[in-house]
Amino acid sequence: MPFIPHTPRDVSEMLGTIGVPDIESLFDEIPAALRVRSLEGVPEGLNEQQLMQLMRARARMDGQPLCFMGAGAYDHYIPAAVWAIVTRGEFYSAYTPYQAEASQGTLQTIYEYQSMIAALTGMQVSNASLYDGATAVAEACLMAVRANRKSRSQRILVPRSVHPSYRAVARATASNQGLVFEDVRFDGASGQTLLAGLVDWEKEDVTALVIQQPNFFGRLEDVDALTDWAHARGALVIAVVNPVSLAVLKPPGEWGAKGADIVVGDGQPLGCPLASGGPYFGFMTTRMEHVRQMPGRIVGRTVDLDGRPGFTLTLQAREQHIRRGKATSNICTNQGLLMTAGTLYLSLMGAEGLERVAKACLQRSQQLVAALTALPGVRALFGAPGFHETVLQLDRPVAPVLAALAAQGIQGGVDLARHYPELGHALLVCATENRSSEDVASYANALSTVLSGQRAA
């Protein structure tokens, strides 16, 4: 809330009504040994005016750097109408009660979201959203084990070209539940996952194969060949996709002869601002045959006793998710506010608008790569076609270069040394429709200055 409405008198009256002497008494059940008596380094409280002055000063310290980072979170333009509507009280503070059908407006919003996400991914059914893209991948792996009854191995093949954070979260979430994650190498020349990299599992029992499209390097995988390889061996296919890219790329529901089985991704590109890593929302769609294994809530459209259209939670009972070890998932809700932003974004953009955004991103990324690789000491590392990101190889360590660019107000990309040391001095860069030709030129000029050893102005 933007302000605290309770006056000292309000607080005193409330305490008198419930029969306690002070606020501290409300927490008397907490043992004294567990209480923090003081907060060192935390200043005294400020009034509203002082607080706003402080926060504005702190915000100015961050500046407004040009962002070329990508790597799963993107600086897209968000139409003003999206958050003007989302922050209305009807949406901003709404939460579906346990008797969900009492919130018809919230349920209808979720239903519209599900319909658009299912159409975008080419699948039959969507849930109401998950926490983010990383947890969606983890939940998809657990779901694949439940859905693929023919496989006993619980082995999930995950290419190293899948987002490192997604791989880490999936392992942290599901490894202790018996799932075995096995890395699949990528081709050093193209940055793609090739069928040749799967030869070790040709005759093995594999539960699922994860395919990210475009992959973490921004390269486009041969999704048809990979999907058919998995299905021919009785494995399910988990697709991890960027929703904006689906405006110009084949939807996962059409990959190979049968299409992907589970589709997940991060909804951040759909109207969610960059905000220190979140909150965002994850999406998940699947085939109707697997719907009972899908985590989270699902909203369906129906009619009441009088024949009027209405919306209800369907196919899954909320209690299904709170049975400890027997639960389908411990996610029994959804990222309602961010999902609403995504719904509004998709509604406002439509298919044509989303396609324009995707094409603008592709054009600007190509322009960025051309400008940067024209500089001495910079080359594109992978040769395969791509969508958003591109991996550049520099002739020197990346970290000092990024620090020098940051001093000039440019977030120059992501240093891949931590996750992919074998790539050498590798830098992941990205440009969205929010970057102009002038922005690209500014980056190229700044990088030229840094690489030539001249001191930035």
How much is the pLDDT for 421? 97
Beta-bridge partners for 378: 394
pLDDT (0 to 100) of residue 454: 45
Is 174 in contact with 202 (CB distance < 8 Å)? no
Beta-carbon neighbour count of residue 392 at 10 Å? 25
Tell me how far apart the alpha carbons of residues 169 and 175 are, in angstroms, rounded to a whole number. Answer: 10
Q: Rounded to an integer, what distance in angstroms lies between the CA atom of residue 445 and that of residue 211?
A: 36
What is residue 1's predicted lDDT score, i.e. its pLDDT?
A: 52
State the pLDDT at residue 328.
77
Single out the residue of 198, 138, 144 nearest to residue 330, CA to CA: 138
pLDDT the model gives residue 234 = 97
CA 257, chain centre distance (Å): 28
The DSSP code for 42 is P
Residues 6+ apart with CB under 8 A from 286: 123, 124, 125, 143, 261, 262, 263, 293, 294
Geometric angle at alpha carbon 125, from 270 and 85, rounded to 5°: 35
Query: What confidence score (pLDDT) does residue 215 get?
Result: 98
Other beta carbons within 10 Å of 123: 24
Q: What local confidence, expressed as pLDDT, does residue 318 receive?
A: 59
Which residues have a Cβ under 8 Å from the Cβ of 336 and sit 6 or more positions away?
A: 94, 95, 96, 106, 110, 128, 129
Q: Are 380 and 369 in contact (CB under 8 A)?
A: yes
pLDDT at 456: 42
| Half-sphere exposure for 191 (CA within 13 Å, toward CB) | 28
Map out the domains of the chain as residue ranges.
66-77+351-451, 80-344
Q: Which residues pair with 210 in a beta bridge?
A: 238
Nearest to 275 by CA among 59, 57, 444: 59
Q: Which of 219, 217, 272, 212 is nearest to 242 (CA)?
A: 212
Residue type, 34: L
Measured CA to CA, the distance from residue 215 to residue 224 in angstroms comes to 15
Report the Cα 324 to chain-centroid distance in Å.
26
User: How many CB atoms within 10 Å of residue 185?
Assistant: 14
Quote helix, strand, coil % in the chain, to nearest 5: 45, 15, 45
454: DSSP letter: P
Write down the pLDDT at residue 22: 93
Give residue 46's pLDDT: 87
**Quick one: which of 405, 378, 381 has its CA closest to 394?**
378
The CATH number that domain 66-77+351-451 falls under is 3.90.1150.10
**Residue 38, pLDDT score:** 83
Domain covering 80-344, topology: Aspartate Aminotransferase; domain 2 (3.40.640)
pLDDT on residue 329 = 82
pTM of the predicted model over 0.85: yes
Q: Is the dihedral of CA 49, 51, 54, 55 positive or negative?
A: negative
Mean pLDDT by 10 residues, the chain (457 residues): 80 95 91 86 86 89 90 96 92 78 91 98 96 96 96 97 98 94 97 96 97 98 98 98 98 98 98 91 97 92 93 76 71 88 97 97 97 97 95 97 96 97 97 97 97 63
